[in-house]
Amino acid sequence: MSQRRKFIKQSLMGSAFFIPGLNQAFARVPTEFSAGQKPLILSTWNHGIPANEAAMAKLTGGGSILDAVEAGVKVTELDLDNLSVGLQGLPDREGITTLDASIMTGDGSCGTVAFVRQIKHPISLARMVMEKTPHVMLVGEGARQFAISQGFPLEEEILSPNAAIEYQKWKVTSQYKPIINIENHDTIGMIGIDSNGKLAGSCTTSGLAYKMHGRVGDSPIIGAGLFVDDEVGAATATGLGESIIRICGSFLIVELMRQGRTPQEACEEAVKRLIAKNKNIKDIQAGFLAINKEGETGAFAVHPGFNFAKATSSKNELIDSRSHFTL
């Protein structure tokens, strides 16, 4: 379960920096990549443990893999201790919390929302965009109006107690400077495969803390924060959105798997590409997860500290990812 997090960062083109793992509430196991298993759910960071649990419960209870990845991340969207997902997340520099989310299935169906306010479950709104509109993405006021039309309640626009405390501290200087992220994570990205090989994924975040009003990260960008293709596999991302968007990270991983790379090789190649295409890499953390259609998995990050939750029908464990740079 997540703990309080401080996340600061930098200038407009800024970079995100995460201090490796503190406050882990779950036992860790060494990174290992077993032979393919189905069904399987992977999700980013330690908040993935309770999210996976909900996703697997949905799946074993007869829900679809799409239902599962929606149900899983909804747990994180409600986690009041989490300052990087949901309405309790850290706000932008104006003190307004804006959310991004995406959802996708392996047949190419997808829906996303970005820069949306007052909606408790942006992942469910993204699913509504996918299922009830001819569009893929709705943003800002349009997304909010669509939410109202679909019966989503509008939440009161006040910061959560934890976010309000952190925002007041940030306002003392109001500078984009590296803030140590004691919680060591941001965003939840979840990908899953059912026992028939059907894939789906979800990704939801409150984005970079103290971002410019209107800033959107990778999470609601199909191909950046999430990509799913039943013919190949699925990938999701976490970390500094700008660095992930620059390389279409999740799409890149799926396409590398299509060309024959294993999920692990594909994640490592994406990190290599991200490092090549981003300046100030020492200050940028990003991590990727992948599953192929055989149920084999991969994970890799720029820096140490990234971990992920892996659930099968019998086990839900937190695993440390390997990284390009080491301590």
Active site amino acids:
187
Q: What share of the chain is helix, strand, coil (3-state, %, to 5)?
A: 30, 25, 50
Is residue 274 a contact point for ligand GLY (CB under 6 A)? no
Is residue 181 a contact point for ligand GLY (CB under 6 A)? no
- Closest to ligand GLY by CB, 37 vs 238, is 238
- Closest to ligand GLY by CB, 240 vs 254, is 240
Binding residue count for ligand GLY, defined by CB under 6 A: 12
Is residue 218 a contact point for ligand GLY (CB under 6 A)? yes
Q: Applying CB under 6 A, which of residues 76, 118, 204, 205 lies at the interface with ligand GLY? A: 205
Is residue 207 a contact point for ligand GLY (CB under 6 A)? yes
Is residue 102 a contact point for ligand GLY (CB under 6 A)? no
Which among 47-55, 70-78, 201-209, 291-299 is the span making contact with ligand GLY, rule CB under 6 A?
201-209
Which strand (E) or helix (H) includes residue 199? Answer: strand 199-205
Place of tokens 């090989």: 197
Which pair of tokens denotes residue 191?
């990908």
Q: What are 255-258's contacts with CB under 8 Å, separation 24+?
A: 257/232, 257/233, 257/290, 257/292, 258/229, 258/231, 258/232
Is residue 186 a contact point for ligand GLY (CB under 6 A)? yes
Q: Vertex 69, ends 286 and 211: CA angle to 5°?
A: 40
Is residue 219 a contact point for ligand GLY (CB under 6 A)? yes
Is residue 15 a contact point for ligand GLY (CB under 6 A)? no
Least distance (Å) between residue 286 CB and ligand GLY: 8
Is residue 92 a contact point for ligand GLY (CB under 6 A)? no
Is residue 48 a contact point for ligand GLY (CB under 6 A)? no
Q: Please, which residues bridge with residue 112 across strands?
A: 102, 137
Contact between 248 and 225 under an 8 Å Cβ cutoff? The reply is no
- Closest to ligand GLY by CB, 56 vs 286, is 286
**3-class secondary-structure state, position 45:** coil
Q: Applying CB under 6 A, which of residues 240, 248, 254, 257 lies at the interface with ligand GLY? A: 240
- Closest to ligand GLY by CB, 48 vs 217, is 217
- Kind of pairing between the strands at 40-44 and 307-311: antiparallel
Which among 4-12, 130-138, 238-246, 295-303 is the span making contact with ligand GLY, rule CB under 6 A?
238-246
Least distance (Å) between residue 187 CB and ligand GLY: 4
The DSSP-derived string for 216-278 is --STTSBTTTEEEETTTEEEEEEE-HHHHHTTTHHHHHHHHHHTT--HHHHHHHHHHHHHHH-
Q: Applying CB under 6 A, which of residues 3, 124, 162, 187 lies at the interface with ligand GLY? A: 187
Q: Applying CB under 6 A, which of residues 111, 217, 249, 298 lies at the interface with ligand GLY? A: 217
Q: What's the rounded Cα separation, in Å, for the pair 85 and 87?
A: 7
- Closest to ligand GLY by CB, 86 vs 239, is 239
Contact between 191 and 299 under an 8 Å Cβ cutoff? The reply is no
Is residue 238 a contact point for ligand GLY (CB under 6 A)? yes
Cis peptide before 91 (omega within 30 of 0): no
Is residue 122 a contact point for ligand GLY (CB under 6 A)? no
| Sign of the Cα pseudo-torsion (7, 8, 13, 16, in order) | negative
Q: List contacts with ligand GLY (CB under 6 A).
A: 186-187, 205, 207-208, 217-219, 238-241
